[in-house]
Amino acid sequence: MVHLKKIDILWVVHFHQPTGVFAETKKKFTHKATLPFLQSIRNHPQVRLSLHFSGNYLVYLQENEKEVIELIQKLITEKRIELLGGGFYEPIFCYISNEDSLLQLEKLNQFLKNTFGQAPKGAWLAESIWEPYFVELLCRSGYQYTILEDSLFENAGITPAEIRQPFLTQFHQHAIHVFAYHSSFSKEIPFKDIKDIHSSFVQISHREGMQLLCIAQNGELYGFWPDTREQIYHKGRLEDWLQYLENNSSWIQTRLPSEFIDGCWPIITLPSGGRKELQPFCLPHKATLDYVSALNELKVRFDADRFLKFFRGGHWLTFLSKYPEANHIHKRMLQVSAKIRLLPKEFQEEIFDCLLASQGHTVYWHAFKDGLFGNYIRDSAFYHILNAEKMIKEKAEHLLPPIEQNDFDADKFPEIFLRSSHCSLCIEPLYGGSITEFNFLPTSYNLANTLQRHPCYFPEPIPPDMYIEDWHQRTLFLDHFVPLSTSAYDFANSSFLEYGDFVNQPYTILELAQNAKGLSVLLERNGGLYFINKKFHFTIRKEYILTPDEELHVNYTITNNDTLPIELLYCCEINYSILSVDSLDRYILIKDKKLNPGMIFEEEQVSEWTIYDKTRNLAWQWIMPEEPVQIYHFPIYTVSYERGLFAKDYQGSAFEILKSFHLQPREKMTLKIITKFLNS
């Protein structure tokens, strides 16, 4: 009989649902994955493991699924599981301040103590994102260990054979234990046949020295998806795995990480990094394509292993420069956090409880699906940011003045905020003098929550009729000059010919004022139209006025500053989002016609229209006070990819307000637009 040396297994499973996902999604996740998994564990008393639940998901379970909470408590009492802590809303700590990081860590720590009577010793880090200074954050919050993907250890020069024990990592005078989870086993178990898993474990058993194998997995694997549910429960893969562990407990022991933290382990320094399969996306789009191509070429080399461990993608913070929409949410979150800290201490805790929910990592990045590209995820972030601002205003109105000029996004150019009791706007002079936030404050609803159709990498060819790229962001009051023949479909397909240099270029701030007319911002750009190999000088002067009765008046003056007459089509683009095209409560009313926001349409002689979202008590009216106009409308969809399937995701819609012109040299034309909330 072959003697098999002992293997210690650390098995960690992570359960999370981002803030902003629908209640029915959380319920499905709970009943398809979380609960059946825990019930399976309950039936195998010799198996021990560690579990991580994000704080917001635990709150959902506490309020709606008490059976799950009771089962977790039972397993804790029996010393069968160890709970990991971390950031309450699962933030990535390099995206938030150290002070906010400590709040996130302490909030989940305290919740676990209060709910289960157990303070966590270990911290789960979202997407295995690591920075060396995290050591100090974790230590200051009372944590003693964390778990990271093995690729970070290989980047640090640790060979796979050496990843068989815990390590100690330090920052200044702080130190914590780190466990490397085996990325391959974490994907394969329990889906591989037991005989293949057994063969691998036998090989590991024959190695010299201690053999500690860590497996870390996402709870979604355990039944959330139909294909994994079939494998896990109907074909019995999970039951086979649990039975295997019990049957081989003489040489395979499931352990808890805290059992190892009193030992003496090697000291290592881990570089910044994250999950390896996400690293291509932490690069600009063209670099992503080059990275994937180079990686595929390298993999076929006979000596690929020599190089692959040092082959790395970009830094996680690249997502903020790659996606301006993520950067906007991120910098607004930081702006509000800084304002909270200006309040007296006794007011801060309640408001931070609201803002911390906007710090969950999901909204700040994107790979194949959702994340930043989930409009409801972005909406949730804005909802909590705006609610926190409303709470600040109740305590210290001077921190949110009616008109504020502030470079909140750190691009070295100021943005302008206009605020009233029911409406707030963020104007970006640097980007076409456009509006990047248009907030309906009664329900904390950012109607400018749109998304550019960014270039994306997919692992297989995408149907060409699904994929469109934009060359500009989807904000409000963008200024196009296009041929007279341009159609709504040209705009929808982003195939129109642009003559102007106004859409994504800077406007100069000429004046900010607060007077009897209201709050006003006057912007100007001396730009040009480009055709027949010549620049024709044009000027746009754009004035925003938020009136005392909370109407937004937008006054345009467009001047031909050249020596030749020009005849073209001017289009004022208004991008907006009401989150869904599948609800009867969300529609556009034009000339007594209810139109779906997912439609492409053209309307002539339009003097007004209203956008409704009854789920958020919104009635948003648009008025053309000078003369009726022609308008185009079209939806904006991006493409997602999941488990071999492509899908289209609604990101918002756009109106084009059209005005054809024939301007003589020095001649001007004007356009006035009024918009207001009818129920404010």
Ranges of each domain in the chain = 7-274, 277-316, 323-400, 464-677
* 476 and 575 Cβ atoms separated by less than 8 Å: yes
The verdict on whether omega for the bond into residue 266 sits within 30 degrees of 0, i.e. cis, is no
Which numeric CATH code is attached to 464-677? 2.70.98.10
Q: Phi/psi of residue 277, each to 5°?
A: -70, -15
* 81 and 47 Cβ atoms separated by less than 8 Å: no
What's the chain's average pLDDT? 96
Nearest-CA neighbor of 339 among 410, 417, 412, 397?
397
* 635 and 488 Cβ atoms separated by less than 8 Å: no
Helix axes 324-340, 375-395, angle to 10 degrees: 20
Structure confidence at residue 5 (pLDDT): 92
**b vs e for 111-128, b when ≥16 Cβ sit within 10 Å of the residue's Cβ?**
bbeebbeeebbbbbbbbb
Structure confidence at residue 623 (pLDDT): 98
Report the distance separating Cα 456 and Cα 292, nearest Å: 13
* 450 and 475 Cβ atoms separated by less than 8 Å: yes
Structure confidence at residue 532 (pLDDT): 84
Report the distance separating Cα 474 and Cα 323, nearest Å: 12
Segment 193-244, tens digit of pLDDT: 999 999 999 999 999 889 999 999 999 999 998 889 999 999 999 999 999 9
* 486 and 630 Cβ atoms separated by less than 8 Å: no
Q: Where are the beta strands (DSSP E) in 355-414?
A: 403-406
| Half-sphere exposure (Cβ direction) of 458: Cα atoms closer than 13 Å | 20
Structure confidence at residue 464 (pLDDT): 85
Spans of the chain below 50 pLDDT: none
Structure confidence at residue 109 (pLDDT): 97
Radius of gyration in angstroms for the set of CA atoms belonging to the chain, rounded to a whole number: 28
Segment 394-433, tens digit of pLDDT: 999 999 999 999 999 999 999 999 999 999 999 999 999 9
Which numeric CATH code is attached to 7-274? 3.20.110.20
Structure confidence at residue 680 (pLDDT): 57
Angle value at C-alpha 168, between 94 and 132, nearest 5 degrees: 20
Neighbours of 292 (CB within 10 A): 15
Report the distance separating Cα 96 and Cα 75, nearest Å: 34
Neighbours of 626 (CB within 10 A): 12
Cα distances from 580 to residues 363, 475, 599, 609, in angstroms, run 18, 18, 12, 19
* 365 and 413 Cβ atoms separated by less than 8 Å: no
Structure confidence at residue 519 (pLDDT): 98
Structure confidence at residue 474 (pLDDT): 98
Structure confidence at residue 2 (pLDDT): 64
The terminus-to-terminus CA distance of the chain in angstroms comes to: 81
Cα distances from 496 to residues 480, 499, 540, 571, in angstroms, run 10, 10, 21, 12
Report the distance separating Cα 398 and Cα 169, nearest Å: 45
Helix axes 194-205, 237-247, angle to 10 degrees: 40
Nearest-CA neighbor of 426 among 342, 500, 528, 336?
336
